[in-house]
C-alpha cells in the first residue's frame, strides 16, 4: 500500500471516530441540590390546582364585617419525587395579584360561615386592604413562594417542612399532604391552620381593633402535577 493510501485510510479512521457527541440534558436550575438524580419530576398544573385561605372576622364590631374566602388557581412550579418519599421536594410560586376574593361558588362550598354573595364594593375594599402595604404589600413583593426543606412520614400521608417567602420574609411551616400517584399524575391535598405570625403577618384591623381579622387562618389546597 502506498503512502498515499495510508493517509487516506488514516483520514477515514479519524472521521469515523468524530461522530456527533451524545447530547446531555441541560441541568435543571430549579432542582434542589439534595434531590436524587433519578427522582421523577412533576410539573404543577395551575388549572387543576387551587389554594384557599379562609379568613374570619373578629373584634367587638365583628358583626359589621364578613368572613372571606381568598383563593388562587395560579400556582406554578415543580415536584420531585424519589424512590423514598422522604426524598421528595417542591418549589411552587403564585402571584399575589391573581388572588381572588369571595368567588360565590367557593363561598357556597365553604358553608354557613360564608353566607351569601358579597357586593363588589366589599370585595374591592377587601382586595385593596389585602394587597396594600399593611398586609401583602403586593407592589414590592408580587409573589409568594414555597420551597420544601424536608419531608417526613410515609405515603400517602406526608408532612412537608416548607419555607414560605412572603412579603420579603421567609417563615417555615409544616404542611400536611395526602399524596396519591395515578400513572403520570401526582395529586396532593391538605388542610391546616396557621396564625398570622407563622407567616410573618399581623392581622388587619381598624377602629383600634374593634373590627379585625381573626389571628387564625385556615388553609386548604389541592395540587395536581403531571410527570415530565
Contact assessment for residue 78 and residue 41, using Cβ atoms and an 8 Å cutoff: yes
**Sheet of strand 57-58, all strands in order from the earlier edge strand to the far edge:** 57-58, 211-213, 205-206
Task: Answer whether residue 29 is part of any domain.
Answer: no
Domain span at residue 124?
35-227
pLDDT at 212: 81
- pLDDT higher for 22 or 61? 61
Q: Is residue 8 part of a domain?
A: no
CATH of the domain at 56: 2.40.128.110
Please report which helix (H) or strand (E) contains residue 177, including its range. Answer: strand 169-182
More confident residue, 20 or 128: 128
pLDDT for 1: 55
| 20 located within any domain | no
Q: Give a yes or no: residue 82 inside a domain.
A: yes
Total domains, the chain? 1
pLDDT tier at 13, thresholds 50, 70, 90: very low
Residue-wise pLDDT tens digits, 165-216: 999 999 999 999 999 999 999 999 999 999 999 999 988 777 656 778 899 9
> Measured in whole angstroms, how far is the alpha carbon of residue 112 from the centre of its chain?
28
Average predicted confidence (pLDDT) for the chain = 87
| Residue 24 belongs to some domain of the structure | no
For the beta carbon of residue 125, count every other beta carbon within 10 angstroms.
Answer: 13
pLDDT at site 34: 76
The pLDDT value recorded for residue 28 is: 66
Measured CA to CA in angstroms, residue 174 lies from 36, 78, 191, 223 at distances of: 22, 18, 11, 16
pLDDT of residue 113: 94
> Is 17 a member of any domain?
no
Q: What is the pLDDT of residues 73-126, one digit of tens each?
A: 999 999 999 888 888 999 999 999 999 999 999 999 999 999 989 999 989 999
The answer to whether residue 1 sits within a structural domain is no
Amino acid at each position: 500500500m502506498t503512502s498515499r493510501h495510508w493517509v487516506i485510510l488514516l483520514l477515514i479512521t479519524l472521521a469515523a471516530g468524530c461522530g456527533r457527541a451524545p447530547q446531555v440534558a441541560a441541568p435543571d436550575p430549579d432542582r434542589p441540590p439534595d434531590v436524587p438524580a433519578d427522582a421523577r419530576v412533576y410539573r404543577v398544573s395551575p388549572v387543576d390546582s387551587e389554594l384557599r385561605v379562609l379568613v374570619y372576622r373578629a373584634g367587638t364590631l365583628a358583626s359589621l364585617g364578613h368572613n372571606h374566602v381568598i383563593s388562587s388557581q395560579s400556582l406554578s412550579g415543580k415536584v420531585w419525587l424519589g424512590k423514598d418519599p422522604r426524598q421528595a421536594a417542591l418549589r411552587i410560586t403564585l402571584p399575589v395579584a391573581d388572588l381572588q376574593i369571595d368567588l360565590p361558588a367557593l363561598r357556597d362550598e365553604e358553608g354557613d360561615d360564608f353566607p351569601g354573595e358579597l357586593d363588589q364594593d366589599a370585595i374591592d375594599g377587601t382586595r385593596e386592604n389585602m394587597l396594600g402595604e399593611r398586609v401583602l404589600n403586593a407592589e414590592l413583593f408580587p409573589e409568594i413562594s414555597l420551597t420544601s426543606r424536608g419531608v417526613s412520614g410515609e405515603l400517602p400521608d406526608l408532612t412537608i417542612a416548607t419555607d414560605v417567602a412572603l412579603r420579603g420574609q421567609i417563615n417555615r411551616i409544616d404542611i400536611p399532604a395526602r399524596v396519591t400517584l395515578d400513572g403520570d399524575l401526582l395529586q396532593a391535598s391538605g388542610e391546616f391552620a396557621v396564625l398570622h405570625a407563622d407567616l410573618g403577618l399581623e392581622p388587619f384591623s381598624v377602629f383600634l381593633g374593634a373590627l379585625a381579622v381573626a389571628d387564625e387562618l385556615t388553609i386548604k389546597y389541592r395540587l395536581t402535577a403531571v410527570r415530565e
